[in-house]
Amino acid sequence: MNETPASEIIVPAVTEQVAAKPRPRPRRASFSFAGLGVAILSWAVPGLGHLVLGRWRRALAFFISVGGLAITGYLLRGNVFPQHATDAFGRLGFYADLGTGVFYYLAHFFERLGPDVSRALGDDGTRFIAAAGLVNVLSAFDAYEIAAGRRR
């Protein structure tokens, strides 16, 4: 009996399908100026960028979470890093704190007695403020992606 080896069997239907379907080329992401504007708004006032885009639920969620984290951090007397930090950790801390946008400039109002990191809760406060900044930066990226049409 003359049997064809398994390696030589060709299934025409499958090969035709594969040949007919061209591979999608990865599209080059174009820069969006509208997205940049929305991202800046979103950074300046947490949630404002999403509000401009009509995503009011997300806007509210970001405003509450970023504002809640930042204000709690101030009330726990966390450390707010100044602009002219001397070491690398201080500079990183400043960038993280600056991420909170308008809340960075409200630090003096909420933190009347200044930072106190000698207590563990004060140290927790520092983390709260940094986390608020990081979440706000993520929300600004999210707003940019929505404005550029890459996210729903």
Partner 1 sequence: MLDFFANPLLSARFASSIAEVAAAAFLRIGHFGAMLLFALLIATSFAALGQRKGLERLRYAIWSFALFILIGVGIAWLMYPFSR
For residue 43, the minimal CB distance to partner 1 (Å) is 14
70 within 8 A of 12, measured Cβ to Cβ: no
Q: Are 78 and 124 in contact (CB under 8 A)?
A: yes
Residue 8 Cβ vs partner 1, minimum distance, rounded to whole Å: 46
117 contacts 78 by C-beta, under 8 angstroms: yes
Q: Is 152 in the site for partner 1 (CB under 8 A)?
A: yes
Q: Which of 36, 40, 72, 102 binds partner 1 (CB under 8 A)?
A: 72
Residue 100 and residue 4: Cα distance in Å, rounded? 69
Q: CB of residue 74 vs partner 1: minimum separation in angstroms? A: 8
CB of 54 to partner 1, least distance (A): 15
Q: What is the distance in angstroms between the CA of the first residue and the CA of the last residue of the chain?
A: 61
Torsion of CA 12, 18, 21, 24, to 10 degrees: -170
Residues contacting partner 1: total by CB under 8 A: 30
- Considering the rule CB under 8 A, would residue 114 count as an interface residue with partner 1? no
Among candidate residues 113, 93, 116, the one with its CA nearest the CA of residue 104: 93
Confirm or reject binding of residue 130 to partner 1 (CB under 8 A): no
Identify residues 17-56 at the interface with partner 1 (CB under 8 A).
Answer: none
Footprint of partner 1 on this chain (CB under 8 A)?
57-58, 61-62, 64-66, 68-69, 72, 75-77, 109-113, 120-121, 124, 127-128, 131, 135, 138-139, 142, 151-152
